[in-house]
Amino acid sequence: MDLSQEKIENSTKVDKKMLIGLHLGNGYGSQPGAWRMPGVDPTSYTSFDARVKQAQSAERGKFQFIFLPDGPGAMLADIENEAPSFNLDVMLTLAAVARETKRIGLVATGSTTFNEPYNLARQFKALDVMSHGRAGWNAVTSSGEAVAANYGRTIPSSEERYGRAHEVIQLIQALWGSWEKDAWVHDQESGQFAKSEQILPINLKGKYVGSRGPLYIPPSEQGQPIIFHAGGSPNAHELAGRFANAVIGAAFTIEDARAQRNAFREAAERYGRNPDEIKYIPGLMTTIAKDRRTALDRRIQLTEHLFPQRVAYLQQMLGVRLDINRLNEPLSKEQLEAARPSPFDPRSRHALKIAKEGWRLRDVLAHGVIDYHPVIVGPGMEAANHMQAWFEAGAADGFWISADVNADGIDAFVDEVVPILQERGLFHQDYAGKTLREHLGAPEQYGIDPRVSSPSKVSVV
Ligand SMILES: Cc1cc2nc3c(=O)[nH]c(=O)nc-3n(C[C@H](O)[C@H](O)[C@H](O)COP(=O)(O)O)c2cc1C
C-alpha cells in the first residue's frame, strides 16, 4: 500500500455518509455492445423481470435509489446495432420494481415541457403510495428536437421551458398537498371515508399551466415524492435551488463538481433554504474486475466496434494525428510532445494523462476517456478511492453509478466497492429508514414549500 492510499483510508472516520444511486437505462448497461455480451439476455430490452432483478441487486447493496432517465421518446439513431438507451416506460418499470423491492428509492424522469402537470402529479403520487413512500420525480425541461418532434413540436426556448417548469413543479406540489394528511379516515364503524373539508381544490393558474384540483390521492408514508433535477445551466441552478432535494449531475473533475455543487447550494440559499437540503450527485461509470488488465479487456470486448470513430474523436481531443491501424502501439514520443489537450472538452487532459502512462492506443480508449462521466476500469478499490476523494473534497454528496453491463456489473459494484466504502465509514451499513425522504435526509414537506412559492409565478384564480 502506498502512502497516499493509506492517507485516504485513515482519514475516513466521519459521520456523514455518501448516497449511492443506480442508473437503470435500457436494462442492458451503459456501454454500447452490452446487449451482446456473454451471459446477457438479448431480450432484456423488453424484460421487466430483468429490471426488477437489477434493482434487487442495488437494494442488496443498500443503494438509496435507482434512477431512470427518460426523453421522453428513445433515440433510434443506430437501431441496426444498438439498443435504445431508455426504458420502455419509466413509470411502469418502477411500478414493477416497487412490488418486488422494499427499501430502495424509485426515481423517474418526467418532462415538465411535454407533460400536463395533473398527469404527472397523479402518476408520481400513485407510485409513492404504491411503494410506501419511495418515489422521486426527476423534473427536467427536456432537450433535443428529436424529442419535441414526437409531440409534433419544436423545442421551446430555455426561458419558456424553465418558465413553465417553475409553474409545473409548484402546481404539482400544490396538488400533492390538496388531500390533507389526516383527510383519509376510512372508518368502517362510523361510515366516514374521508373528511371533505380537508380535500380542497387548489385553483391555480399561471402563464403556462393551471389546475383546479384537488388530486384524489392520500399521502404516502413520506407525504409526497421527492423532487430531483438534472441539468447544469444557470436556469437549472435556479430551478433546482428552489425546489429540488437532489441533483443528478455530470462532472469530470473535482473542481468542476465542487463548483456545480456550490452553485446549487447557493441557489438553494437564495430561496431561503438550508443548502444541505439539496444533494449534488454526479455520475460514475464502472467496469469492475480483479485487475486493470482484465477490466480493460472487458471494455475492449464491449466497445471495440466503435474504435474507428473514437480514434477520430480522440485525435481532436489531443490535437494530434492518430492511426487506426496502430491500435496496438502506444502513442509515440513525438505524438505525446505535440499533443495539446482541447480546451473545449473537459476530458482531454485526462485522456492525455492516460496516453502518457504508455498504454496502447486501444487501451487508452478502453479507459473510457470519451465516456459521459468519469470511468473506473479496474478493481473495486479504485472506485472506492475516487468516490472518497470527491466526497471528502466537497465535490459530491453521493454518486449515481452506471454499470457497464447490468447483468453482472451491478453485482460487481455491490460486492467489490460497497464493502470498502462501508469499511471506511463512508457508506451506511443498512437502511436506517423506510422512505426515500429518510434515505436522503430530506426535510418533511407536504404540499407546496411556503418558503419558495411565489404568487407572481402561479396565481390563485
Ligand atoms: C446528468 C444529466 C442527466 C440528464 N438526464 C436527462 C433525462 O433523463 N431526460 C432529459 O430529457 N434530459 C436529461 N438531462 C438534460 C437536462 O434536463 C437539460 O435539458 C440539459 O442539461 C440542457 O440544459 P438547459 O436546458 O438548462 O440548457 C440530463 C442532464 C444531465 C446533466
Residue nearest to atom 18 of ligand 1 (CA): 231
Contacts of 147 (CB under 8 A, 6+ apart): 71, 72, 73, 111, 114, 155
Residue nearest to atom 31 of ligand 1 (CA): 231
**One-character DSSP codes across 77-109:** TTTTTS--SS-S-HHHHHHHHHHH-SS-EEEEE
pLDDT tens column, 41-79: 999 999 999 999 999 999 999 999 999 999 887 777 789
Q: What average pLDDT does range 199-223 have in this prediction?
A: 97
Q: What average pLDDT does range 105-113 have in this prediction?
A: 98
Residue nearest to atom 15 of ligand 1 (CA): 231
Q: Is 459 annotated as a binding residue?
A: no
Residue nearest to atom 17 of ligand 1 (CA): 140
Beta-ladder partners of 110: 139
pLDDT band at 85 (very low <50, low <70, confident <90, very high): confident
**Higher model confidence: residue 450 or residue 399?**
399
Positive or negative, the CA dihedral 83, 86, 90, 94 is positive
Segment holding 20, helix H or strand E: strand 19-23
Q: What average pLDDT does range 223-246 have in this prediction?
A: 96
Whole-number pLDDT of residue 3: 36
Q: Which numeric CATH code is attached to 3-285+380-460? A: 3.20.20.30
Q: What average pLDDT does range 299-307 have in this prediction?
A: 95
Q: What average pLDDT does range 344-358 have in this prediction?
A: 96
Kindly state the DSSP code that residue 276 receives in the 8-state scheme.
G
Q: What average pLDDT does range 396-412 have in this prediction?
A: 98
| Ligand 1 touching residue 140 (CB < 6 A) | yes
Reduced 3-state DSSP string for 211-246: ECCCCCCCCECCECCEEEEECCCHHHHHHHHHHCCE
| Ligand 1 touching residue 141 (CB < 6 A) | yes
| Ligand 1 touching residue 233 (CB < 6 A) | yes
pLDDT tens column, 313-340: 999 999 999 999 999 999 999 999 999 9
Average pLDDT, the chain: 94
Q: Is 446 annotated as a binding residue?
A: no
Read off the pTM: 0.94
* Cβ-contact 307, 365 below 8 angstroms: yes
CA dist 454 and 461 (Å) reads 14
pLDDT band at 239 (very low <50, low <70, confident <90, very high): very high
| Ligand 1 touching residue 29 (CB < 6 A) | no
Could you tell me the distance, in angstroms and rounded to a whole number, from the CA of residue 140 to the centre of ligand 1?
Answer: 6
Q: How far is CA 325 from CA 198, 220, 321, 335, 371, in A?
A: 72, 59, 12, 15, 22
Proportion of the chain above pLDDT 90, given as a percent = 89
CA dist 334 and 332 (Å) reads 5
* C-alpha cell recorded at residue 339: 499533443
Could you tell me the distance, in angstroms and rounded to a whole number, from the CA of residue 33 to the centre of ligand 1?
Answer: 24
Beta-ladder partners of 427: none
Q: Where are the domains of the chain?
A: 3-285+380-460, 292-366
Strands 204-206 and 458-460 turn out to be: antiparallel
CA dist 220 and 122 (Å) reads 12
Whole-number pLDDT of residue 101: 98
* C-alpha cell recorded at residue 446: 407536504
Whole-number pLDDT of residue 77: 76
Q: What average pLDDT does range 198-217 have in this prediction?
A: 96
* C-alpha cell recorded at residue 309: 470513430
Whole-number pLDDT of residue 5: 38
pLDDT band at 127 (very low <50, low <70, confident <90, very high): very high
Q: Is 162 annotated as a binding residue?
A: yes
What does residue 174 show for φ and ψ, rounded to 5 degrees?
Answer: -65, -40
